[in-house]
Amino acid sequence: MKLVFATNNKHKLDEVRKITAQHGIEIVSLADIHCQDEIPETANTLEGNALQKARYIQNKFGLDCFADDTGLEVEALNNAPGVYSARYAGNSHDSEANMQKLLHEMEGKNNRKARFRTVIALLIKDKQYYFEGIVNGAIATKKRGVNGFGYDPVFIPEGYDETFAELGDAVKNQISHRAKAVEQLDQFLASLNL
């Protein structure tokens, strides 16, 4: 079975391919289908953005596909940055600037509870499905670690003392929000016996 993952993010692609490989599901990227388009993400929810990206690919290429959207939801900031996580410090998708803005906004705040939430929208055989993964945790007071991407250096998952960036990919890929959503996707696809 071949499915398009509407992303060019190598980190996400690797993470998803590792999880789905056991069931013989071939995951191809936007680059693999020669899509260089800037796919719009204009919805105001994670579900809306994921569906918008998947629909764009299905409509243009006629392929079964899925897309994800992830948000970091910080309790003390009324769940910001949320759906705007990638663009928190502006439209340049600058992870460093996003983290610096977040750390600045969190200065002096005792409540550091946060969660990462990933939503996957799957469009297959003219039907749509959603899968959600959540990991609870807290925002560190400063950046720690060199692995991962995005907000990983400032997010400490529940039950750990280290940030995602300190834990490394092997641990992160077992406990992350995306891993939880992709595991649901993987189990669902395996159950279809396609």
**Average of per-residue pLDDT values in the chain:** 93
94 vs 123 pLDDT, higher one: 123
CA distance 138 to 128: 32
Tokens representing 40 are: 């719009």
User: Catalytic annotation on 161?
Assistant: no
Residue 156 in this model has a pLDDT that exceeds 80: yes
Q: Residues 145, 5, 82, 184: is their CA dihedral positive or negative?
A: negative
* Stated pTM of the model: 0.90
pLDDT tens by residue, 79-120: 999 999 999 998 888 899 999 999 999 999 999 999 999 999
Residue 31 in this model has a pLDDT that exceeds 80: yes
CA distance 39 to 108: 38
Q: Residues 111, 171, 180, 8: is their CA dihedral positive or negative?
A: positive
pLDDT tens by residue, 2-22: 899 999 888 889 888 988 888
What share of the chain has pLDDT > 90, as a percent?
74
Find the radius of gyration of the CA atoms of the chain: 17
- Active-site residue among 64, 68, 69, 186? 69
Residue 143 in this model has a pLDDT that exceeds 60: yes
CA distance 112 to 154: 11
Of 94, 96, 70, 101, the closest CA to residue 83 belongs to 70
